[in-house]
């Protein structure tokens, strides 16, 4: 008996030693092949890609899975995993004695390390030679990788039926979530499936999967991993009966990342998974509510760093009816009025106008018989630049573009990094102020982010650097940034103020201050964000772009094929989405700090050349020339009794002669309502002296001082 026992112990050792000398070197190349995974800024999974041969093999390690799963795995598969060198002598002795008695393999005595060896070098036969090979490779694996490395290989390579390999892919495929937090029943199921992955697939054989799971639970109770009551509760939990789809957040951004770096198996983007998921849902819901075949795109940019926080390319990547595979953030479309703020910024920068400069919104004909009209087909008379931009009036915007030059405006946009598409064989003309060009949502968002950054347009950052850079003055280690708080803004270096500018700081602030006062859509609060909408010609595109100090969000809605959609208007369709997106971003909006050089005064406090835009060449459809402008009534120095001392309410008649219409009446530097004709009227608020002025289209003026009683 003693001789037989010694023989049983020595035989495997001698055979193993001899067999090891005949094996080729261990090659882990195929085992190292992984699915490409796209992660968000915090390391959360956005989208995995199958391997070249169609398998889902996601990277995983012991830190990625529930500790109870690991405890059950070792209890069920290899109780002495933490102690043996890759081979369990007791299990090997038991297997050898069974082989001697029965002349065939009854139990393999496989350790987790041996199972990994089988997965690394798969063989279909079940023989003594193959078992010896696994034993040799198990020892080699433990020596090369250590216990943690071997366990990680098992977590990545264990088969779970079909193309699903590894515990992370299995947890996503069968449970619909990451394996970091599993129930006891779920842990037991994932332990049981690799023993017979095809026969126990829950989506095909749920009864067999349940029996195997319950067997694992029983063994876990026997070996003290869980209690009997916990096992009974777990057995009552149903087994999933279908495969879940793998996550597909930021599908367009993920594909672009893979195309840019096809070798990298793990790519970490600057996207925020929570915000990305929320905005994808928002885009799908709103596009569906607006109409069929419509899509939507949303882009969110961190103004301080230029990092892209959300990239929603369509209303549903897999929605063929809405051409969901088309990334609308990269599509060149007409922006409508969305570029008007940059016309104003250029005019402010060049001293042509100020937010309180008076502009004329009336019928006018520019060169080449170009006669723009407002969206509502009406005209508003004399308005400030602030009011003209807030109301998105067309004539004042074209007038300012005419003053600064369309070619210069296009050059500024291109100099800021925007790819501008003009109609073929045409020079920049005045219609570009109203959307007569092509631009992408991405470039438009960058330009608006430039306004939020004092005029400096950021280069977008889409990938988290491998070693996060800490902003100046931040009290945070790179290790903490990389693992715990990667979503914090100071994990990304703030972009330097580059030469790519869209406006100087003062002009950028003027525009931001104006846009913060734009009337919001229905049921939204005013004054919270600076924003502008746009509607392209023919109702093909609806735009809304908004920003505060923290973030810029741009929204596009339309048909991917460019077809017209009656009623598709930026203010009605896109603006509500923009405001909803800001609410989902969270936090309180932050206003931009006012530059020291900003001139904040009323119209009357401006230098005379900035009070009103007057051009030498008449553009109005009506023109009278030759008679000098003068105030006919009231005469200078007159005392006019309107009965104000007795509490009466009366108007003072105003009359001018000569000059070039339209005329603008002002009292004490403030415009008179409806004061655009030769004859007007003013309602004084009380008795006293008043300076009455009139200006004409050529810039001529006349003033009188009267006393009202």
Helices 112-120 + 67-77 axis angle, to 10: 90
* Cβ 77 vs Cβ 219: under 8 Å: no
Task: Give the bridge partners for 546, in sequence order.
Answer: 531, 553
237 catalytic residue (yes or no): no
Give me the torsion for CA of 599, 603, 604, 608, rounded to 10°: 80
Residues whose CB falls within 8 Å of the CB of residue 537, separated by 6 or more in sequence, listed in order: 334, 336, 435
337 catalytic residue (yes or no): yes
Report the C-alpha gap between 691 and 637 in whole angstroms. Answer: 10
* Cβ 664 vs Cβ 680: under 8 Å: no
Give the β-pairing of 56-57 and 164-165: parallel
SS3 content of the chain, % helix, strand, coil (to 5): 40, 15, 45
Task: Please provide the DSSP assignment of 607-635 as one string.
Answer: -HHHHB---SS--BS----SSPPEEEESP
Task: Please provide the DSSP assignment of 442-471 as one string.
Answer: HHHHHHHHHHHTTTBPPPPB-B--SSPPPP
Strand, coil or helix: what is 309? Answer: strand
Environment class of residue 466 by beta-carbon count within 10 Å: exposed (0-12), middle (13-18) or buried (19+)?
exposed
Helix or strand run (H / E) with residue 93 = helix 89-102
* Cβ 87 vs Cβ 9: under 8 Å: no
What is the 8-class DSSP label of residue 80?
T
Residues whose CB falls within 8 Å of the CB of residue 300, separated by 6 or more in sequence, listed in order: 275, 279, 308, 309, 310, 311, 551, 552, 553, 554, 581, 585
Examine residue 662 and say whether the peptide bond preceding it is cis (omega within 30 degrees of 0): yes
Residues whose CB falls within 8 Å of the CB of residue 630, separated by 6 or more in sequence, listed in order: 656, 657, 658, 659, 702
* Cβ 60 vs Cβ 166: under 8 Å: yes
Report the C-alpha gap between 311 and 276 in whole angstroms. Answer: 7
What is the 8-class DSSP label of residue 261?
-
Report the C-alpha gap between 645 and 639 in whole angstroms. Answer: 13
Report the C-alpha gap between 313 and 304 in whole angstroms. Answer: 23
Q: Which of 678, 60, 4, 666 is nearest to 382 (CA)?
A: 666
Burial 313-347 (b: 16+ CB within 10 A, else e): bbbbbebeebbbbbbbbebebbbbbbbbbbbbbbb
Query: Which residue of the set 35, 77, 142, 349 is catalytic?
Result: 77
Query: Which residue of the set 337, 507, 680, 701 is catalytic?
Result: 337
Catalytic residues: 77, 337
């Amino acid at each position: 008996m003693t001789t037989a026992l010694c023989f049983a112990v020595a035989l495997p050792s001698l055979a193993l030693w001899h067999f090891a000398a005949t094996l080729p070197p261990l090659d882990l190349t195929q085992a190292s092949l992984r699915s490409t995974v796209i992660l968000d800024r915090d390391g959360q999974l956005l989208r995995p890609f199958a391997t070249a041969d169609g398998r889902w093999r996601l990277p995983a390690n012991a830190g990625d899975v529930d500790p109870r799963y690991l405890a059950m795995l070792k209890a069920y598969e290899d109780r002495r995993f933490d102690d043996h060198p890759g081979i369990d002598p007791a299990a090997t002795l038991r297997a050898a004695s069974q082989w001697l008695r029965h002349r065939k393999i009854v139990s393999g005595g496989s350790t987790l390390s041996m199972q990994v060896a089988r997965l690394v070098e798969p063989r279909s036969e079940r023989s003594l030679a193959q078992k010896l090979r696994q034993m040799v490779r198990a020892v080699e694996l433990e020596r090369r990788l250590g216990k943690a490395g071997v366990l990680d290989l098992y977590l990545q390579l264990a088969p779970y039926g079909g193309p699903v390999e590894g515990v992370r892919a299995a947890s996503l495929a069968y449970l619909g979530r990451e394996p970091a937090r599993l129930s006891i029943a779920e842990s037991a199921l994932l332990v049981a499936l690799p023993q017979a992955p095809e026969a126990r697939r829950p989506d095909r054989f749920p009864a067999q999967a349940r029996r195997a799971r319950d067997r694992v639970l029983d063994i876990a109770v026997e070996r003290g991993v869980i209690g009997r009551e916990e096992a009974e509760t777990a057995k009552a939990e149903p087994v999933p009966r279908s495969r879940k789809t793998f996550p597909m957040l930021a599908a367009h951004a993920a594909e672009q990342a893979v195309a840019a770096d096809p070798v990298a198996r793990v790519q970490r983007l600057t996207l925020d998974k929570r915000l990305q998921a929320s905005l994808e849902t928002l885009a799908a819901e709103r596009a569906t509510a607006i109409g069929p075949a419509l899509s939507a795109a949303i882009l969110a940019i961190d103004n301080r760093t230029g990092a892209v926080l959300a990239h929603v390319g369509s209303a549903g990547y897999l929605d063929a009816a809405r051409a969901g595979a088309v990334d609308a953030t990269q599509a060149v479309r007409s922006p409508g009025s969305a570029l008007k703020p940059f016309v104003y910024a250029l005019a402010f920068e060049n001293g042509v106008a100020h937010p309180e400069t008076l502009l004329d919104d009336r019928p006018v004909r520019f060169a080449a018989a170009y006669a723009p009209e407002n969206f509502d087909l009406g005209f508003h008379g004399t308005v400030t630049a602030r009011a003209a931009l807030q109301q998105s009036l067309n004539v004042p915007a074209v007038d300012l573009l005419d003053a600064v030059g369309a070619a210069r405006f296009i050059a500024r946009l291109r100099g800021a990094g925007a790819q501008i598409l003009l109609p073929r064989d045409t020079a920049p003309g005045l219609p570009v102020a109203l959307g007569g060009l092509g631009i992408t949502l991405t470039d438009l968002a960058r330009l608006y982010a430039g306004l939020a950054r004092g005029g400096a347009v950021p280069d977008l950052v889409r990938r988290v650097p491998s070693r996060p850079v800490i902003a100046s003055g931040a009290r945070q280690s790179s290790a903490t940034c990389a693992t715990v708080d990667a979503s914090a803004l100071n994990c990304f270096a703030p972009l330097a103020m580059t030469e790519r500018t869209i406006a100087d700081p003062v002009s950028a602030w003027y525009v931001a201050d104006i846009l913060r006062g734009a009337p919001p859509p229905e049921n939204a609060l005013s004054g919270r964000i600076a924003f502008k909408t746009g509607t392209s010609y023919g109702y093909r595109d609806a735009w809304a772009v908004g920003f505060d100090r923290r973030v810029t969000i741009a929204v596009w809605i339309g048909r991917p094929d460019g077809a017209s959609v009656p009623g598709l208007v930026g203010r009605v369709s896109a603006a509500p989405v923009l405001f909803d997106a800001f609410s989902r971003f969270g936090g309180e909006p932050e206003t931009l700090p006012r530059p020291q050089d900003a001139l904040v005064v009323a119209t009357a406090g401006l230098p005379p050349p900035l009070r009103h835009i007057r051009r030498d060449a008449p553009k109005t459809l009506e023109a009278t020339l030759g008679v000098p402008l003068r105030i006919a009534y009231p005469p200078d120095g007159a005392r006019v009794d309107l009965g104000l001392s007795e509490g009466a309410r009366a108007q003072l008649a105003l009359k001018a002669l000569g000059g070039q219409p339209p005329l603008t009446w002002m009292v004490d530097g403030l415009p008179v309502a409806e004061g655009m004709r030769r004859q007007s009227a003013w309602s004084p608020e009380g008795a006293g002296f008043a300076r009455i002025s009139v200006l004409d289209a050529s810039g001529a003026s006349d003033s009188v001082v009267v006393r009202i009683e």
